[in-house]
Each structure stands twice: as C-alpha cells, then as structure tokens.
Amino acid sequence: MTTDAQPATALTPVLSRNWDRPDSFTLQSYRETGGYEALRTALNTDPDSLVNMVKSSGLRGRGGAGFPTGMKWSFLPADNPKPRYLVVNADESEPGTCKDIPLMLANPHVLLEGIVISAYAIRSSQAFIYVRGEVLHVIRRLKHAVAEAYDAGLLGRDILGSGFDLDVVVHAGAGAYICGEETALLDSLEGYRGQPRLKPPFPAVSGLYASPTVVNNVESIASVPSIVANGVEWFTAMGTEKSAGFGFFSLSGHVARPGQYEAPLGVTLRELLDMAGGVRAGHELKFWTPGGSSTPILTDEHLDTPLDFESVGSAGSMLGTRALQIFDDTTCVVRAVGRWIAFYAHESCGKCTPCREGNFWMVQVLDRLEKGEGTEDELDKLLDICDNLLGRAFCALGDGAASPVMSSIQHFRQEYIDHVEQGGCPFDHRKSTVWGADS
C-alpha cells in the first residue's frame, strides 16, 4: 500500500503488520514479530483485571453491531456452575466484507493468541471457531495453525506452565449466511439448522448448550493481544472517544487499489480513497456502503463523514463491518440493489414471514423496475414492504435487507423513475465492469 499524498490520518497496521512476510501464517514467523508475548503477560494477570482492561480500552465488537466487548464479557453470570464457552464468529459472509478471511489466512496465530487470552479472561476452557464452510483454504490454514499451537504448548493442557487449559475446535459451516447471526450460529454449532433464537435470553446467559457463552467476531478477539501488549492508553489514543482503536476498512469495487486498510476508527472515506489511489480513473463516486450491504448506502455528500459508530449513525447509516463498497457513476443503483435483495431472498432462513415473503416480492418488483416494466407506484410498494421488514423481522437479516432499498430510494428516487419513464435501464452495464471500461 503506497501513499501518493501524505494523508491526514495515517494507517495503523497492527493485525496486518506482518502480512507482507511470505511466511506470515506460520507460528515461527508470528513469534519472530513478537507473537504470543502478550499471552505470557496475560497468563500472569488476574482474569478479572483482563476483563476490566478490555472494558476500559473501549474496544467495540468488530462484527457489525459495535457492542462493547469487555461489557459483553462481564455479563457472564458469576453463579452459573455450567461450563463457559467462547465462540469466535468467523462466518464472514456479508456482501462486501472481506477482513476476517484475509486476516485468518495471513495471520491465523493472532486470532489464536486472542482466543487463549480471551478464554482465560472469561474463565472458559473450551473455544470454538465457526468458519464459513465455503472457504476451505481458510479452514485448512486454521486447522494447521491450531495443530502448530498445540504442539508448541500454546493450546491444550497447562498452557505455558500456567495451569490454564484450553481446547480449540475449528468448526466448518456449510453454506448459509444466516449462520453469522450469533444465535443461528449456536444452533448450527449444535448440529441443527441455523435459525435465529429468540432473545433474551442472550448467549451470555444461555448460549451454546444452554451454557453461558461469549460470541465475538474474529477481529474483536484478534485485537485483544495488542491491547494487552501495548496497554489501554495506546489503544484509546487511536480512534474517537466513543469508537476507540483501529480496524480494517475493506475497500472494494470501483477504486484504484482495493484491499484492506487498517486505520483508526474515525478515518474518512476521502482519506481512505486518497490512500487507495482514488475512484476508478475518469469516474466520479456515486454511492457507497459504509459497512456491507446491510448498511444504508451513502453518497459523495458523505465523503468527509468520520467512519466511527456515532458519526456514521448520525449520517443515517451504520458503521457495520467497515466494508466500503465503492460504486462510480457508471453503476445503475436499481440493478445493484436488485442484486443485493436477490442475495437476501436466497439467504432468508424462512423462519419469519416479513423476511421470507418480503424479500421474495422485492426481488420481483426490483427486477421489473430495472427492466423498465415497473410503475412509479411500485416504489411505494417497495417502501411499504420495507416498513413491514424494518424492526418487524425476527432477526437483523430482515432489517439489513430493507437498508439498501430504503436508502437508495431516498437518495436516487429519480433514477428509479427514469427507468419507468424510459421503459428500460438508462445505463450501459458493461461500462461498470473492468473489462467494459477499456473497450
């Protein structure tokens, strides 16, 4: 990642620090760059102090919702005699999100170190990593890293002579986006169909096998060793007051140098685009998602919105997974939204009616609109369906599906109407693809 101009906010490579080493994924390489040192420190610290440390660092969940990680850990009931579980959510399948998978591929040991520290902090001796079934290469790499860690005494009995035991199981999903939702994930881990459970009770009280369970995103857990190693002040010096620290910003789409940029929260899209070589040459930014397809789209008006939880919220969207999908002026917004909704329709688990039926019908309507066969009234129909989805679906997948539809109509209503009036799509789709741009 080279930078053309000196950006106002500099990158903060922590989890990606060793990515350019050819053997970054090996235990040896991770150790050469200081890996597993934080674990030694942690194992000499009282577990409750570690929970407090993570709490005061202000680390917020990196899986989308941004719930404070230390607080989640402290919700585990002290008087429950059942075993406690740590479950790492590595199901990453939100359209546009590509941070956990590259991280686990390039640096699986930082996740494992985070798991041992976190499990020790919450007094759990059994952890699971639930990985998307599709990414066989990542599953292989994780299993290899887990085996390396067992051999080196970093997992298993009496870790580093501390008396602490921990087993880690890598569990493969089998192709279902909904299994990223934490309670659906738990059902899937128990061997059932992955459908969300009613909350409360929350997993902290009754999770895996009805035992107290912490479910955290890969990046949340992988951030823990750096906090233990460098301290709370180091962490809070990055980011904003309420959104502390650093995170991956994954840029994809119409941008010169797509990829994962690890930067402090609060960086702006303008700064990130500067580092990434800007929007595709000869084109302007049209719209973008701040955190994957489930977060309402933003436009070029929002280039200077700080990408932290609060600011993106006040701009009418959500920080989500920081999956910045960039679309330039060649992109038909109706088509893009149609593709996303087709995804949600396919991935709806079918448990509740608003989502199962709503997405099905939205696909039909969007398809008609894109082909120029729709009517202006149908925009209201779409909004009506969204109204029945948002806040009324059983889980957040339904809310996520309403986001692109509502926000695109809010920002680009005229473009929908153009389709109706012209009886077809005003865009040449080839121009929005890489090969079409050259011809």
Partner 1 sequence: MSRVDVAELVRSVVENRRHERGPLLVILHDLNDQLGYIDSTVVELVAGELNVSRADVHGVVTFYTDFRTEPAAGVSLKLCRAEACKAVGAERVVEHAQQVFGVRVGETTPDGSVTLDQVFCLGNCALGPAAQVNGKTHGRVDENRLVEILASAETTERASATSPGEPS
Considering only residues 134-193, where is the footprint of ligand SF4 by CB under 6 A?
178
Considering only residues 176-205, where is the footprint of partner 1 by CB under 8 A?
176, 188-194
Quick one: 352 or 420, whose CB is closer to ligand SF4?
352
CA–CA separation, 201 and 110 (whole Å)? 31
Best CA proximity match to 188, nearest among 145, 265, 133, 151: 133
Q: Phi and psi dihedrals of 317, rounded to 5? A: -135, -155
Q: Phi and psi dihedrals of 217, rounded to 5? A: -70, 155
CB-CB contact of 35 with 145 (8 Å): no
Does position 396 bind ligand FMN by CB under 6 A? Answer: yes
CB-CB contact of 217 with 89 (8 Å): yes
CA–CA separation, 342 and 351 (whole Å)? 17
Structure tokens given for 406: 């509502």
DSSP for 112-155, please give it: HHHHHHHHHHHT-SEEEEEE-TT-HHHHHHHHHHHHHHHHTTSS
Considering only residues 221-250, where is the footprint of ligand SF4 by CB under 6 A?
none
Task: Print the binding letters for residues 74-93 with ligand SF4: x by CB under 6 A, - otherwise.
Answer: --------------------
What single-letter DSSP state applies at residue 256? S
Residue 180 touches which of ligand SF4, partner 1, ligand FMN, none (Cβ within 5-8 Å per kind): ligand FMN
Task: Print the binding letters for residues 305-344 with partner 1: x by CB under 8 A, - otherwise.
Answer: --------------------x-------------x---x-
Does position 244 bind partner 1 by CB under 8 A? Answer: no
Quick one: 62 or 109, whose CB is closer to ligand FMN?
62
Task: Print the binding letters for residues 344-383 with ligand FMN: x by CB under 6 A, - otherwise.
Answer: ----------------------------------------
Considering only residues 204-243, where is the footprint of ligand FMN by CB under 6 A?
215-217, 220
Does position 408 bind partner 1 by CB under 8 A? Answer: no
Does position 96 bind partner 1 by CB under 8 A? Answer: yes
Considering only residues 313-352, where is the footprint of ligand SF4 by CB under 6 A?
348-352
Size of the chain in residues: 439
Distances from the Cα of 333 to the Cα of 70, 305, 387, 417, angstroms: 39, 21, 20, 12
- Among 114, 196, 247, 374, contact with ligand SF4 (rule: CB under 6 A): 196
201 upstream amide cis, omega within 30 of 0: yes
> Per CB under 8 A, which region of 27-35, 49-57, 389-397, 430-438 contacts partner 1?
430-438
- Among 46, 301, 414, 435, contact with partner 1 (rule: CB under 8 A): 435
Distances from the Cα of 218 to the Cα of 24, 128, 215, 241, 243, angstroms: 17, 11, 10, 23, 18
- Among 194, 203, 398, 404, contact with ligand SF4 (rule: CB under 6 A): 398
Residue 190 touches which of partner 1, ligand FMN, ligand SF4, none (Cβ within 5-8 Å per kind): partner 1
CB count in 10 Å sphere of residue 428? 10
Structure tokens given for 8: 């106002």
Does position 164 bind partner 1 by CB under 8 A? Answer: no
Quick one: 261 or 340, whose CB is closer to ligand SF4?
340
CB-CB contact of 194 with 183 (8 Å): no
Does position 180 bind ligand FMN by CB under 6 A? Answer: yes
CB count in 10 Å sphere of residue 136? 11
Which residues form the interface with ligand SF4 (CB under 6 A)? Answer: 178, 196, 348-352, 355-356, 393-395, 397-398
Interacting residues toward partner 1 by CB under 8 A: 25, 92-93, 95-96, 98, 101-102, 105, 133-141, 143-144, 171-176, 188-194, 209, 252-254, 258-259, 325, 339, 343, 349, 432-435
